[in-house]
Amino acid sequence: MTHRDRYGLELSTASDAAAALYREGSDLLLATWPGAAEAFDAAIADDPDFALARASRARLHAIRGEAGQARAAIAAARALAERHGTERERGQVAILALAIEGHPAQALRQALAHLDTWPRDALVLSLPLGAFGLFAFSGMADHDQARVDLCERHARHYGDDWWFLTYRGWSHVENGDPGAGRALVQRAFALRRHNANAVHALAHAMFEEGSGQEAEALVAGWLPEYGRTGLLYSHISWHQALVALDDGDAARALSIYTDRVQPQATLATPINIVTDGASFLWRLHAYGHAVPKPLWEEAAAYADRAFPKGGNAFVEVHLAMLAAATGDRARAEAGATAAGPVVPAIHRALLAFADGDYGGCARILAPVAAEVVRIGGSHAQREVIEDTLLIALMRSGAAAQARALLDDRLHRRPSRRDSDWRTLLAA
């Protein structure tokens, strides 16, 4: 009997149990739902020669920032795929290996070519997508459009698949069409409620629409079903904290952070712990609220442990926030990244802001504002840089520039915070 995955692709295992466990683990992985690691481990135990189960386990290790374990697992998967795998399986394992072993540009090229032949290889399709995907961290200025183009190219192969609808919708949200994107994600959520990526994508859509109270209601009602062991639990909570900040409720925002987002309170991935923590605390400080010093120190200490040698452009920007806020002038400026010169420019601007040199901050940031997209992440995550520029303009007396930026933001979506700032400028 030939076993197949949920998308109809052949699996090189003779075990009914291993195939079923792999399908279960794959769905949990694609939904970012607890239990995927256990399912893949059980599949491997049942069939130690099952290459794709080991490859998916390697992918989970990589997502969790467990680099050594990810490399070991993908090496084992590659050896098994060469001996027992189909051409499609060998291709998937090779692409995962490139991504895990630090060759993202090559992984992206091979993934796109692989999908032309096997468009329903969902794990490979997942790699270029998302805020932390191969497109987002490629340094491209048009990675939002690239994700939409990729999804639309292969949409006919997926129909109403809950995973594909989630990422197709999220791609449209990030590319400036939150209405169409939200409709797609809501279809996905209706098909599978235990899908953390759908709730995350809906939170982004509601953010882009200025529907903060809808986001609050959605997350408050759904998050208990997910639980603290879910990898996106604290990041979705971070979205709640941003809603509270936008409403002017800094105390609630800080309470959410300390209870669910700060390093000691979360089981999230290292990249989320560092970037969510740094960006939240920076926002809180920049908006004029007091940030307890121990929170800065805890976030910086965790970042030093998690990324002792720095990271990609997105991580580097957030490390710079922590360095600027804690007075760590000894930290070297960010090195070369795929995003190019925008990263060191942001670093210098953050230092100027922390030193109270708001005019200097604005002079550095304004010329590179259009290039910030190159650092990757989502629009909601990158907006902290735009906020920094806006506040620097207001505090340095550049009222006309600040008004123009605020008017553009308010034209895009309603925001209580932005409206309050606009009123202050008008006064």
Same domain, 293 and 420: yes
Helix (H) or strand (E) holding 4: strand 3-4
State the pLDDT at residue 333.
Answer: 59
Question: What is the full DSSP assignment across 380-402?
Answer: HHHHHHHHHHHHHHHHTT-HHHH
Same domain, 50 and 115: yes
Q: What is the pLDDT of residues 188-225, one digit of tens each?
A: 999 999 999 999 999 999 999 999 999 999 999 999 99
Classify the phi-psi angles of 34: left when phi > 0, otherwise alpha if psi is within -120 to 50, otherwise beta. Answer: beta
Same domain, 305 and 412: yes
3-state secondary structure 92-130: HHHHHHHHHCCCHHHHHHHHHHHHHHCCCCHHHHHCCCC
Same domain, 167 and 40: no
Residue 397's contacts (CB-CB under 8 Å, 6 or more residues apart) are 359
Same domain, 290 and 414: yes
Asked whether the predicted pLDDT for residue 346 surpasses 90, the reply is yes
Asked whether the predicted pLDDT for residue 336 surpasses 60, the reply is no
CB atoms < 10 A from the CB of 93, how many? 26
First to last CA, the chain: 75
State the pLDDT at residue 335.
Answer: 54
Q: How many whole angstroms separate alpha carbon 141 and alpha carbon 63?
A: 24
Q: Are 186 and 156 in contact (CB under 8 A)?
A: no
Q: What whole-number percentage of the chain has pLDDT above 70?
A: 98
CATH no. for residue 30?
Answer: 1.25.40.10
Same domain, 280 and 141: no
Same domain, 189 and 90: no
Q: Are 407 and 234 in contact (CB under 8 A)?
A: no
Asked whether the predicted pLDDT for residue 339 surpasses 60, the reply is yes
Same domain, 196 and 308: no
Same domain, 62 and 165: no
Same domain, 108 and 148: no
Among residues 92, 127, 162, which one ends one of the domains?
A: 127
State the pLDDT at residue 331.
Answer: 63
The structure's pTM equals: 0.95
- What separation in angstroms does the CA of 386 have from each of 25, 199, 301, 372, 403? 39, 25, 26, 9, 13
Q: What is the pLDDT of residues 110-150, one digit of tens each?
A: 999 999 999 999 999 999 999 999 999 999 999 999 999 99
Q: How many whole angstroms separate alpha carbon 344 and alpha carbon 368?
A: 11
State the pLDDT at residue 328.
Answer: 87
State the pLDDT at residue 5.
Answer: 98
Q: How many whole angstroms separate alpha carbon 322 and alpha carbon 317?
A: 9
Q: Is residue 262 part of a domain?
A: no
Same domain, 159 and 123: no
Q: 180 is in which domain, residue-wise?
A: 137-211
Q: How many whole angstroms separate alpha carbon 361 and alpha carbon 392?
A: 6
Average pLDDT, the chain: 96
Q: What is the pLDDT of residues 33-78, one digit of tens each?
A: 999 999 999 999 999 999 999 999 999 999 999 999 999 999 999 9
**Two tokens at 380?**
């909601």
pLDDT (mean) for 385-399: 97
Q: Is residue 255 part of a domain?
A: no
Number of domains in the chain: 3
Q: Are 209 and 190 in contact (CB under 8 A)?
A: no
Asked whether the predicted pLDDT for residue 411 surpasses 80, the reply is yes
pLDDT band, very low/low/confident/very high, at 426 (cuts 50, 70, 90): confident
Same domain, 115 and 156: no
Q: Is residue 244 part of a domain?
A: no
